[in-house]
């Protein structure tokens, strides 16, 4: 082993992506992943879990091999972190079982990490932010989050489905393959006409289900697909920007961090950076590899928790498919 810095192995497997990484606070030392792609339709929890259990041995082999070529051996690790939730139960259980086995075999602490908090922490780490308002937009979640008195508080969230799920559902309906978000983005780019779609913000919450249905109806009524895609993005992203801006204003914060798979969308980036520019706030989003679900985000968060004395006894390591962002005690910000 090199310096005396702490090294953590993180394993992510809440849904489609099974991924493991070894990190130090300086960066990623090794990383390996295996992606489950549904043959058709959306993700089936049991099939995704079968993919994870069939591939986890090979993914761990690869990450350990790369780590050892970087001079890091399994016995150099300080802890094993894993995605404890939220996510698909069968997938979570597969990953947790492997993490427990590794922790016991190597005789190092286990750390259960909240997947949403991990998106935030890897973003803060990669973008060098201290205390941002976070817009977390993914296949399963859409939340506006900010730190306040020991927790990441959810200031606003979707009342029904996530923005990623809404995009994927609409895309599937019009015959595009999963994941739909990038395909909708591509079709939207050259389109110019706006098809009116429902804009739903209630207080600090938003809703995408009616929007997805209205977009389907517009497509069925003959509106060109590109126009519907563009209108879908403009409407949904405006809702997110409105609530994000209100959170910035009310929390008196000056940084805005965009995380989750939908953060790859260029138009959403453009809209948020315009809003932040107007307010004199800093806007940023992590590199692509840290934006989508990845092992490094679990490892980095595990490392931060470890340095703050937080580990998870095996008895308390049961997975929690509904683990909420604001259930985690955050002791590392103040």
HSE value, Cβ hemisphere, 13 Å, CA-based, for 58: 9
DSSP 261: G
What angle do helix axes 266-279 and 180-188 make, rounded to 10 degrees? 70
Give which of ligand AMP, Mg ion, none residue 87 binds (C-beta under 5 to 8 Å, depending on kind).
none
Q: Is 234 in the site for ligand AMP (CB under 6 A)?
A: no
Give which of Mg ion, ligand AMP, none residue 264 binds (C-beta under 5 to 8 Å, depending on kind).
ligand AMP
3-state DSSP call for residue 296?
Answer: helix
Among 43, 167, 218, 229, binds ligand AMP (CB under 6 A): 167
Q: Is 12 in the site for ligand AMP (CB under 6 A)?
A: no
Q: Is 87 in the site for ligand AMP (CB under 6 A)?
A: no
Q: Give the phi and the psi of residue 142 in degrees, each rounded to 5.
A: -145, 110
Give which of ligand AMP, Mg ion, none residue 179 binds (C-beta under 5 to 8 Å, depending on kind).
ligand AMP
Instruction: Report how far residue 183's alpha carbon sits from residue 170's, in angstroms, rounded to the nearest whole number.
Output: 11
The residue written with tokens 């809003």 in the block is 275
Nearest residue to ligand AMP by CB is 261
How many beta carbons lie within 10 A of that of residue 188, not counting itself? 20
Nearer of residues 76 and 293 to Mg ion, judged by Cβ: 293
State the minimum distance, in angstroms, from the CB of residue 127 to ligand AMP.
17
Binding to Mg ion, residues 137-176 (CB under 5 A): 138
Number of residues that bind ligand AMP (CB under 6 A): 18
Label the pairing between strands 282-284 and 79-85: unpaired
The two structure tokens encoding residue 195: 């098809």
Q: Is 293 in the site for Mg ion (CB under 5 A)?
A: yes
Among 248, 293, 305, 330, binds ligand AMP (CB under 6 A): 293
Strands (E) in 75-232, as ranges, are 79-85, 110-114, 133-137, 142-148, 151-157, 201-202, 205-206
Q: What character string, x for contact with ligand AMP (CB under 6 A) and - otherwise, covers 241-280?
A: -------------------xxx-xx---------------
State the minimum distance, in angstroms, from the CB of residue 178 to ligand AMP.
8
How many beta carbons lie within 10 A of that of residue 249, not counting itself? 12
Instruction: Report how far residue 193's alpha carbon sits from residue 225's, in angstroms, rounded to the nearest whole number.
Output: 11
Question: Per CB under 6 A, which region of 5-13, 43-51, 108-116, 137-145 contacts ligand AMP?
Answer: 137-145
Residues within the interface to ligand AMP (CB under 6 A) = 138-140, 164, 167-168, 179-182, 185, 260-262, 264-265, 292-293
Residues within the interface to Mg ion (CB under 5 A) = 138, 293
């Amino acid at each position: 082993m090199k310096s005396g810095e702490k090294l953590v192995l993180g394993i992510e497997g809440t849904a489609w992506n099974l991924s493991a990484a070894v990190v130090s606070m300086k960066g990623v030392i090794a990383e390996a992943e295996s992606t489950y792609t549904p043959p058709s339709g959306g993700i089936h929890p049991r099939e995704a879990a079968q993919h994870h259990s069939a591939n986890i041995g090979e993914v761990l082999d690869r990450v350990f091999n790369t780590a050892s070529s970087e001079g890091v051996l399994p016995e150099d690790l300080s802890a094993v972190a894993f995605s404890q939730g939220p996510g698909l139960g069968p997938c979570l259980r597969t990953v947790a079982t492997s993490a427990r086995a590794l922790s016991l075999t190597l005789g190092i602490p286990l750390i259960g990490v909240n997947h949403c908090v991990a998106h935030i922490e890897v973003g803060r780490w990669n973008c060098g932010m201290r205390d941002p308002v976070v817009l977390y937009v993914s296949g399963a979640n859409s939340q506006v989050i900010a730190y306040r008195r020991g927790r990441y508080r959810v200031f606003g969230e979707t009342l029904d489905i996530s923005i990623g799920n809404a995009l994927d559902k609409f895309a599937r309906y019009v015959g595009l393959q999963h994941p739909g978000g990038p395909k909708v983005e591509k079709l939207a780019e050259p389109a110019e006409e706006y098809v009116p779609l429902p804009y739903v913000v209630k207080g600090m919450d938003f809703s995408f289900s009616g929007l997805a249905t209205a977009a389907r109806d517009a497509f069925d009524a003959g509106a060109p697909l590109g126009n519907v895609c563009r209108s879908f993005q403009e409407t949904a992203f405006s809702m997110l920007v409105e609530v994000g801006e209100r959170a910035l204003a009310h929390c008196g914060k000056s940084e805005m961090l965009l995380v989750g798979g939908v953060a790859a969308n260029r138009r959403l980036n453009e809209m948020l950076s315009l809003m932040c520019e107007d307010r004199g706030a800093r806007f940023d989003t992590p590199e692509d590899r840290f934006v989508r679900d990845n092992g490094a985000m679990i490892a980095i968060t595990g490392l931060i928790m470890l340095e703050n004395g937080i580990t998870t006894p095996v008895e308390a390591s049961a997975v929690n498919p509904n683990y909420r962002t604001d259930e985690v005690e955050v002791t590392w910000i103040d």
